[in-house]
């Protein structure tokens, strides 16, 4: 009997303590006690952050495919942006080059028109073609305003310069003459060089003093330069028609289309500069 009473008393004590604790929590929560409120806030924070810490790895694992897709998309867009920048730079460079070429071409046209407007038509009365001299004599001289150094053209192409002047005749030194040295501008970049006569070769001329790494290509125009102060800049000399490398001389050789045949030349124009 005593054993049953002890068990009964213990159970009653437990129930009493449980109700007491529950009632205390209810009382403190209802009356908004300061210390209990702070304790409750700390507990809520612990529960909230614990839940976040437990769920964060799972959320991040689920987001990994999206991260990979975003990285691949960004890399693709970056490559496209780089290509667009390169294309833009190329277009800007090409536009700048075309403007420069247009300006040069306009200057050449103006100078050529000036040469044509002040040209004097002359008849060829004698031709001399040998190793030491490649010249022609025309029927115009000092009495007609001709001076030494005047450029002589055929079909708007330079064929030589006045080398000797008489009163009613003049001697023209052709481009292929061994003593001919014409300052020129060659290629799209208008590089300075010298066109020298070489009657001993098949080409009848050489292009000297080109930069070592600079090479002409088919279709490149050759114009006169004003570097010597005698010839005007912009007189058309010819067009590169072929290029070949000479293994013997280790030099690049060029063929030029002059748009005329010197042996069929009966009349020429003298520019009176």
Q: Residue 234: pLDDT band by 50, 70, 90 thresholds?
A: confident
Q: Which of 27-36, 66-75, 95-104, 190-199 shows the lowest per-residue confidence on average (mean pLDDT)?
A: 27-36
Q: Which of 42-51, 176-185, 195-204, 241-250 shows the lowest per-residue confidence on average (mean pLDDT)?
A: 42-51
Whether residue 197 has pLDDT greater than 80: yes
Q: What share of the chain is helix, strand, coil (3-state, %, to 5)?
A: 45, 30, 25
Most confident of 14-18, 153-157, 213-217, 242-246: 153-157
237 touches 182 (CB < 8 A) = yes
Q: 119 Cβ partners below 8 Å, 6+ apart?
A: 153, 269, 270, 271, 272
- Cα–Cα distance measured from residue 46 to residue 223, given in angstroms and rounded to the nearest whole number: 88
244 touches 253 (CB < 8 A) = yes
| DSSP letter string, 15-47 | HHHHHHHHHHHHHHHHTT-HHHHHHHHHHHHHH
Q: Residue 44: pLDDT band by 50, 70, 90 thresholds?
A: low
Whether residue 106 has pLDDT greater than 60: yes
Q: What is the pLDDT of residue 8?
A: 47
Q: Residue 73: pLDDT band by 50, 70, 90 thresholds?
A: confident
Comparison of pLDDT for 203 and 173, the residue scoring more? 173
Instruction: Give me the mean pLDDT over the 215-225 stretch.
Output: 87
Q: Is the dihedral of CA 206, 207, 213, 216 positive or negative?
A: negative
Q: Residue 112: pLDDT band by 50, 70, 90 thresholds?
A: low
Q: What is the pLDDT of residue 25?
A: 57
236 touches 158 (CB < 8 A) = yes
- Facing residues of 96 across strands? none
Whether residue 127 has pLDDT greater than 60: yes
Considering the domain 120-271 in this protein, what is its CATH number? Answer: 2.40.10.340
Q: Indicate left, alpha or beta for 250 from its phi (over 0: left) and psi (-120 to 50: alpha).
A: left
Q: 29 Cβ partners below 8 Å, 6+ apart?
A: 36, 40
Q: Residue 228: pLDDT band by 50, 70, 90 thresholds?
A: low
Residue 263 DSSP class:
G
222 touches 205 (CB < 8 A) = no
pLDDT in tens, 166-183: 999 999 999 989 999 999
Listed by start position, the domains of the chain span 1-31, 40-117, 120-271
- Cα–Cα distance measured from residue 237 to residue 157, given in angstroms and rounded to the nearest whole number: 5
- State what percent of residues in the chain have pLDDT above 70: 69
């Amino acid at each position: 009997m005593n054993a049953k009473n002890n068990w009964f008393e213990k159970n009653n004590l437990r129930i009493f303590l449980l109700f007491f604790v529950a009632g205390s929590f209810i009382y403190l929560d209802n009356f908004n006690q300061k210390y209990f409120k702070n304790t409750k806030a700390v507990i809520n924070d612990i529960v909230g952050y614990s839940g976040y810490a437990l769920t964060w790895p799972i959320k991040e694992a689920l987001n990994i495919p999206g991260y990979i897709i975003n990285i691949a998309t960004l890399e693709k867009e970056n490559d496209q942006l780089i290509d667009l920048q390169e294309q833009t730079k190329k277009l800007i460079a090409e536009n700048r080059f075309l403007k420069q070429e247009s300006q040069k071409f306009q200057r050449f046209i103006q100078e050529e028109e000036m040469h044509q407007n002040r040209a004097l038509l002359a008849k060829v009365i004698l031709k001399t073609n040998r190793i030491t001299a490649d010249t022609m004599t025309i029927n115009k001289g000092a009495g007609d305003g001709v001076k030494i150094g005047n450029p002589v053209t055929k079909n708007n192409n330079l064929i030589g310069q006045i080398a000797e002047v008489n009163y009613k005749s003049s001697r023209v030194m052709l481009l292929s003459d061994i003593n001919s040295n014409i300052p020129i501008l060659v290629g799209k970049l208008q590089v300075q060089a010298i066109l020298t006569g070489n009657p001993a070769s098949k080409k009848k001329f050489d292009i000297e003093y080109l930069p070592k790494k600079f090479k002409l290509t088919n279709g490149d125009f050759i114009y006169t330069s004003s570097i010597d102060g005698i010839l005007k800049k912009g007189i058309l000399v010819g067009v590169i028609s072929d290029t070949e490398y000479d293994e013997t001389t280790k030099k690049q050789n060029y063929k030029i289309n002059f748009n005329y045949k010197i042996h069929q030349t009966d009349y020429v124009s003298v520019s009176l500069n």
